[in-house]
Amino acid sequence: MRVVIQRTTSASVKIDGVINSEIGTGVVILLGIEESDGKEDIAWLCKKISNMRIFPDDVGVMNKSLLEVDGEALVVSQFTLHASTKKGNRPSYIQAAKPDIAIPLYESFVSELRRLLGREVQTGKFGADMEVSLVNNGPVTILIDTKNKQ
């Protein structure tokens, strides 16, 4: 699994011009899933995201986690995170999991993050054409790939 995490003061997802979900202070998580990903990737990644110290403390140092600031999360499926650009000018997405594998893993990821945060997690709609808007606070943008845990 690959994620792009962006710390935000506000974010929303529109589908067909209508706001589907929105959050205030928290993180937007763009989630890419590969065929080889599994439950252990979900557990590791959700724990990492919920405890990552990327929010400022009282003196402005990034010392607080999403849990500590009672932040919100917005998860958006993003198969293009697995684009291969080695050949030609058209990215290949063959590493991205097909919907029959990706959808259950996406739903499990959202459920596990919800469990760890103890609050509702907002989402986009898997496979939909979405407009994601956010105010990247910092800016803070973090990339994580579960294939690189070490």
Active site residue 8: no
Of 8, 9, 25, 80, the catalytic one is: 80
Q: What is the DSSP string of the chain?
A: -EEEEEEEEEEEEEETTEEEEEESSEEEEEEE-BTT--HHHHHHHHHHHHH---EE-TTS-EEE-TTTTT-EEEEEE-GGGG-B-SSSSS-B-TTBPPHHHHHHHHHHHHHHHHHHHTS--EE--TT--EEEEEEEEEEEEEEEEGGG--
* Residues identified as active-site: 80
